[in-house]
Amino acid sequence: MDRRHTEKNEEASAQERPTLKTLAFMTGLGVTTVSRALKDAPEIGAETRRRVQLVAKQIGYRPNRAGVRLRTGKTNVISLVLNTDREIMSFVSDIIYGVSEVIADTPYHLIVTPYSRSQDPLDPIRYLVETGSADGVIISRTQPNDARARYMLEHGIPFATHGRTDMGLVHPYHDFDNHAFAVEAVRRLASMGRRKLALLTPPVGLTYYGHTVNGFADALSEVGASEIPFSTVSIDHSIEQIRTRTAQLMRRDIRPDGFVSSAAAATLALVAGIEDAGLKLGRDVDIVSKQSSDLLHLFRPELLIVNENFRLAGSELARSVLGWIGGAAPGSLQSLSVPGEVLAYQRSLD
């Protein structure tokens, strides 16, 4: 009896996630007392309560959700029930619907784990891994040297990234070929006689920033066009900032006669800035823009458009994670989506 007790807790204190039993052993109390002390039950002595809570905080105790749920029936889950049809122009909803589609006839649930700009992006990942809250993880905004991917690889939790990394580590991903997008975009603009091109880039630091910039540069030299630098903003900036900077740029002596834009919302601001400067789309300047839902041509029919399908991305990412969980080789779960042709919606000018 005594031996068993000790074994158990030596093991526990070594590696595993701490449980009430661990805390009980450390404090020398019973698990019941610990449980009650943590929830401020009245029949626990003030000092004991403080002591238990201190130790719990120190070793980072977090109650096991399955234990609580099994015992009490409390799930600590809020469900948001969504209709998957008819939703428009949104990275987030498209990805969610794509994932949902794939896991619909599996026993899996989709939880959304948010984090904000001010937080370390690693925080939510750490939480998921430490609490064992998920069998698999999908992340976006992937960087060439991505701490999150590295962390998950080290901890052996299956995941998929939206966008590639560049660390010499192999893991599932889905990516849009932004190099090809930029190349096609530049070629198209060049074919229309545009020679001074500017790029409204993806967020600096993300992997596809590099892909896009390189594709842009490669194609520039291919077609013999020149770049007008426009690095004061990226698609991550606010609509107002992009608009203002664009207007400034277009009022200069040497200004671009063509743009490549990496996001639809940013393109709206781009056009507004161009028009603020008194110039006209289709006459003074042309734009090739990515979009994820079919709305830009309504905005200005002169826009040249390349579609990126985020719903597909969501599906692919879900498939990859499930595949990895199911034992497939991570290296076999990578996919790249190639851009379709540049679409022109321009109608006759009256």
Partner DNA sequence: TTGGCAATCTGTAACGTTTCAGTATATTGA
Partner DNA sequence: TCAATATACTGAAACGTTACAGATTGCCAA
Partner from DNA, its own copies, none contacting 117, C-beta within 5 to 8 A by type: its own copies
Partner from DNA, its own copies, none contacting 8, C-beta within 5 to 8 A by type: DNA
Single residue of 271, 281, 305, 342 touching its own copies by CB under 8 A = 271
Q: What angle do CA 101, 105, 110 make, to 5 degrees?
A: 60
One character per residue 46-75, x = contact with its own copies (rule: CB under 8 A): ------------------xxxx-xx--xxx
Binding of DNA by 325 (CB under 7 A): no
- How many residues sit close enough to its own copies to count as binding (CB under 8 A)? 75
* Residue 216 contacts residue 182 (beta carbons within 8 Å): yes
- Nearer to DNA by C-beta: 67 or 205? 67
One character per residue 228-267, x = contact with its own copies (rule: CB under 8 A): --------x--x---x---------------------x--
User: For residue 263, which of 333, 181, 336 has the smallest C-alpha distance?
Assistant: 181
Residue 188 CA neighbour count, 13 Å, CB half? 23
State the minimum distance, in angstroms, from the CB of residue 178 to its own copies. 18
Binding of DNA by 16 (CB under 7 A): yes
Binding of DNA by 59 (CB under 7 A): no
* Residue 129 contacts residue 151 (beta carbons within 8 Å): yes
User: For residue 309, which of 116, 174, 143 has the smallest C-alpha distance?
Assistant: 174
* Residue 139 contacts residue 161 (beta carbons within 8 Å): yes
Single residue of 6, 54, 70, 231 touching DNA by CB under 7 A = 70
> Which range, of 28-36, 209-217, 221-229, 239-247, touches DNA by CB under 7 A?
28-36
- Nearer to its own copies by C-beta: 28 or 79? 79
Single residue of 6, 10, 13, 30 touching DNA by CB under 7 A = 30
Q: Three-state SS for 304?
A: strand
- Burial of 112 per CB tally in 10 Å (0-12, 13-18, 19+): exposed
Binding of its own copies by 85 (CB under 8 A): yes
- How many C-beta neighbours within 10 Å does residue 229 have? 9
> Which range, of 63-71, 143-151, 152-160, 193-201, touches DNA by CB under 7 A?
63-71
> Which range, of 24-32, 81-89, 172-180, 279-287, touches its own copies by CB under 8 A?
81-89
Binding of DNA by 44 (CB under 7 A): yes
User: For residue 160, which of 179, 139, 131, 187 has the smallest C-alpha distance?
Assistant: 139
Q: What angle do CA 19, 24, 26 make, to 5 degrees?
A: 100
Residues 6+ apart with CB under 8 A from 274: 246, 247, 250, 280, 281, 284, 285
Partner from DNA, its own copies, none contacting 107, C-beta within 5 to 8 A by type: its own copies
State the minimum distance, in angstroms, from the CB of residue 68 to DNA. 4
- Nearer to DNA by C-beta: 21 or 297? 21
Binding of DNA by 63 (CB under 7 A): yes
For 195-228, the DSSP string reads: -EEEEEBPPTTSHHHHHHHHHHHHHHHHHT-EE-
Q: Which residues pair with 199 in a beta bridge?
A: 260
Single residue of 2, 3, 14, 43 touching DNA by CB under 7 A = 43
- Nearer to its own copies by C-beta: 18 or 136? 136
> Which range, of 23-31, 179-187, 290-298, 326-334, touches its own copies by CB under 8 A?
290-298
Torsion of CA 129, 133, 139, 141, to 10 degrees: -70
Q: Contact positions toward DNA, by CB under 7 A?
A: 8, 16-17, 19-21, 28-33, 35-36, 38-39, 43-46, 48, 63-64, 66-68, 70-72
